[in-house]
Amino acid sequence: MFDTIRQFSDRVLGRGDAAITVPVMDGALKPNRALDDAEVVATLPDIDDLATDGHALFASAGPVLYRLEDKGLVEVHRFDAVITALAVQSTNLLAVALEGKRIVLLSHGVNSMAGIATLERVDGAQLNSVNALSFDAEGGLLFSDGSVRRGPDQWCRDLMEKGQTGRVGRWHVDANGGSGDAELLASRLQYAYGVLPKSGEALQGRQGGAAGVLYSESWRHRVVQGAPDSASALSAVTRPLLADLPGYPSRMAPAARGGFWLTCFVCRTQLVEFVLREDAYRTRMLESVDPRYWVAPSLRSGTSYLEPLQGAGVKQMGVLKPWAPPRSYGLVLHVDAQGHTTESLHSQVDGQHHGITAVVEFGGALYAASRGSGRLLRVPLTGPGAMQ
């Protein structure tokens, strides 16, 4: 009853979940050109996910798995379906999600790759939109299943429909070919997109060293942390580590200096926040307008005069304003163990490297996958030209 009263009060006063305000990018989030100035390692249309075991860097694009070598990205394996998530472990284990509907565990060598096991269901329900994978230290594979209603390429429709069917789970695996059942850790999430193990000591409010889980809940603009309390759920200490982000958070990767890197694959605007609260307009837009021209975020923009947010609102003397409302944007955050954003890398509205869907640290540099531009980027973290 109290929740109902609070929700009604928020709608009347325009606060809480009913607010259409968007956090200002300032302080550690102050815009820069770090992503636009980054080295372009390779051009790879449809590049999506990255993974590393510390010895090699892997990238996925469509159905193809690539490995970074001195001469650039080299094709390693071609699957029978689009790769929607990727993870690799130092024990020569590699996991890929195919079309979001199945997770395949493989043993990989220098010139070989063999299937070990496949997962297609969790908690009795079919996987549908697996978009992130991560091995933990206890022999498990964490995964996020964005939506049980929409596929990985339909994330924008899920946002416009206010989807809340995302899930996070864990699959017990080992290097000897054995695998156990998958357990559901969290459900009814507003688009789960990103998962990462975290040590129990870093989970505030919980004692002991039990492994924890971080996961991104995109449409609620937050990263949540929790520790497994049973075989089927996260404990009651689950709470937001980051909240009210200016973008929609997605995949994460460990940072060598502590904490983790977080991608925001698209950013929020007041106009989109307003449309999400106007149900009649939003429903009619979904029914009658081509999805390419919805008043909605995108991984890339500026390719058609039919797109929304054009004209004098975003241009002056024919030049796109870098501070214009972003239909697409490039954003990576570094978050410390306490949940504080310490720095950020940007590709602003007038930049090229939008739609950052994955990052990893490798060889003293930060690699980022810009799906909006179809490029693999490299930002030095040490040595000459290192990010400050």
Digit-coded pLDDT (tens) for 194-239: 999 986 433 333 333 345 899 999 999 999 998 765 545 665 456 8
CA atoms of 230 and 253, how far apart (whole Å) = 25
Torsion of the alpha carbons at 233, 261, 368 and 352, rounded to the nearest 10: 110
Whether 103 contacts 130, CB under 8 Å: yes
pLDDT digits (tens, 9 = 90+) for 126-173: 999 999 999 988 879 999 999 999 999 999 999 999 999 999 999 988
Burial of 328 (0-12, 13-18, 19+ CB in 10 A): buried
User: Average per-residue pLDDT in the chain?
Assistant: 86
Question: Hey, where are the domains in the chain?
Answer: 21-380
Give whole-number Cα distances, 360 to 254, 280, 323, 337, 387, in Å. Answer: 7, 41, 28, 17, 15
Most confident of 134-148, 179-193, 354-368: 354-368
Q: How confident is the model at residue 36 (pLDDT cuts 50, 70, 90)?
A: very high
Nearest to 301 by CA among 255, 366, 261, 353: 353
Classified as helix, coil or strand, 233 is coil
Q: Within 10 A of 262 (CB to CB), how many other CB atoms are there?
A: 28
In degrees rounded to 5, what are phi and psi of residue 55? -110, -25
Tally of CA atoms within 13 A in the half-sphere of 291 that contains its CB: 11
Give this prediction's pTM.
0.90
Average pLDDT over residues 328-339: 94
Confirm if 217 and 225 have CB atoms less than 8 A apart.
Answer: no
> How many beta carbons lie within 10 A of that of residue 79, not counting itself?
17
Distance of CA 286 to the CA centre of its chain: 24
Q: What is the pLDDT of residues 47-85, one digit of tens each?
A: 999 999 989 999 999 999 999 998 889 999 999 999 999
What single letter denotes the amino acid at residue 161?
A: E
Interacting residues of 378 by C-beta distance below 8 A, sequence separation 6+ = 38, 39, 40, 41, 365, 366, 367, 368
Residue 175 clears pLDDT 70, i.e. is over it: no
**Residue 200, Cβ density class (10 Å: 0-12 exposed, 13-18 middle, ≥19 buried):** middle
DSSP H or E segment with residue 346: strand 341-347
Q: Tell me what pLDDT residue 9 has.
A: 63
Amino acid at 75: E
* Alpha-carbon gap, residue 331 to 364, rounded angstroms: 20
Percentage of the chain modeled with pLDDT above 70: 84
What fold is seen in the domain 21-380? Neuraminidase (2.120.10)
- Burial grade of 386 (CB within 10 A; 0-12, 13-18, 19 or more): exposed
Q: At residue 319, does pLDDT exceed 90?
A: no
- Tokens 């969290």 locate to 186
Q: Which of 220, 198, 219 is nearest to 209 (CA)?
A: 198
CA distance 276 to 219: 11
